Amino acid sequence: MGEKEKGCLKDITGKSNIVNLNWRRIPKEIRCELINEVYCGHCDDCVKIIIYYIEENKYELILQGKCSICGKYLEKTIEK
């Protein structure tokens, strides 16, 4: 799937420019809230997601990455 960098906006279907554009349409303050408020079941708390990438389907953006505290996989869906 390729290397993931911190904050890399990558769509595994190859539409990264479109995904990036759709992500950037969300106001910066809200994007920051979305990144900093992802629920981690392992930590049982809202945490910051790190080393994330974004997938997109017809109805939502899917933010995927790791918990900044425990490193477990996290996923957050964002309705379009």
Query: What are the residue boundaries of the structural domains of the chain, listed by start?
Result: 16-79
Mean pLDDT for the stretch of residues 44-58? 92
Q: At 5, is the pLDDT very low, low, confident or very high (cuts 50, 70, 90)?
A: very low
Chain length of the chain: 80
Average pLDDT, the chain: 83
DSSP 7: T
Distance separating alpha carbons of residues 33 and 46, to the nearest angstrom:
11
Cα 32 from Cα 25, distance rounded (Å): 13
The token pair at 39 is 């629920």
The confidence score (pLDDT) of residue 4 equals 40
Distance CA 76, CA 48 (A): 11
Report the candidate in 43, 44, 24 with the shortest Cα–Cα distance to residue 34: 24
- Give the predicted TM-score (pTM) of the model: 0.73
Q: Report pLDDT for 52.
A: 86
